[in-house]
Amino acid sequence: MAADVPKVTISNGSQTMPLPVIGLGTATHPQVSETTKSAILDAIETGYRHFDTAFIYGSEQPLGEAIAEAIKTGLIKSRDELFITSKLWCSFASSELVVPAIKTSLKEIIFQTHTCTYTFISGEVKRLPIPEETIFPIDMKAVWEVMEEYQNLGLTKAIGVSNLSTRRLDELLSFAKIPPSVSQTIKKVSLRWVYEPGVSFVPKSFNKDTMKQNLEIFDWSLTEEELNKISKLPQRKGVPPSMIMEPNDLMREIVAEI
């Protein structure tokens, strides 16, 4: 039986749907499919019904395998019990590449663009740091139009964005016919502090005891003093461009947007 996890309501432009406020992140390095599959099965058994994956994580296949096994063994009755988020990696953030990428992830519920400011010419990054000549700005309007088309066809339940700067998000909202249902960002914070203002979150832990502890944050509250202390802690965003790109003017332009 699933744990009594609170839900928030999101909209896909035509209808609303409940999103469990806590999910399980599946990004890990190195990615070991059997380990990931086992952890997801543990999470389903513990009570998780919300999972976050992405092409770049390499966890879509083990997630699908875990779901199939969970149904077969009776942990869940059907796929409809789960809320799954996958993402369009920036290597495929070009209008002609969006459709093939979505087709590989049709088992997912929400599909997001993943860090969609710049993309790679090649679908495979062969070395780090990423050389400047393989990177160029994407046509976000064209990419979003394809994602909207696939939602209208019913192939995804909702679309959103991941790690998008506020400036890029404003740009997207200026032309989107279907606004993003969610905007996902990466932060390292107290789970309860994130939950209290009504935010959904996907901590990553493959330790079953930690999974259980993360589901035990809903029957207590932080004090005002604790909230103030946490809010004053320095925040660190996701992967800085300087970690994956050669130093150049393009990198400095990306950093300026963050």
pLDDT in tens, 166-224: 888 899 999 999 999 888 876 656 788 888 888 888 999 999 999 999 999 998 998 99
pLDDT in tens, 4-50: 899 988 887 778 888 899 999 998 888 899 999 999 999 999 999 99
Q: Where are the beta strands (DSSP E) in 91-236?
A: 110-114, 118-120, 135-137, 158-162, 183-184
Domain coordinates of the chain in residue numbers?
7-257
Residue 119, pLDDT > 60, answer no
Region 90-94: what's the mean pLDDT? Answer: 71
Distance CA 148, CA 144 (A): 6
Distance CA 181, CA 83 (A): 14
Region 230-243: what's the mean pLDDT? Answer: 67
Q: Is 57 a catalytic residue?
A: yes
C-alpha atoms less than 13 angstroms from C-alpha of 116 in its C-beta half-sphere: 29
Backbone angles phi, psi at 253, to 5 degrees: -70, -40
pLDDT in tens, 61-71: 899 899 999 99
Residue 114, pLDDT > 60, answer no
Query: 7-257 — its CATH code?
Result: 3.20.20.100
Given a contact cutoff of 8 angstroms between Cβ atoms, the answer to whether 113 and 142 are in contact is: no
Instruction: Enumerate long-range contacts of 68-72, CB under 8 Å, 24 or more apart.
Output: 69/37, 69/41, 70/41, 70/44
pTM of the full structure: 0.77
Residue 125, pLDDT > 90, answer no
Catalytic residue among 57, 118, 150, 195: 57
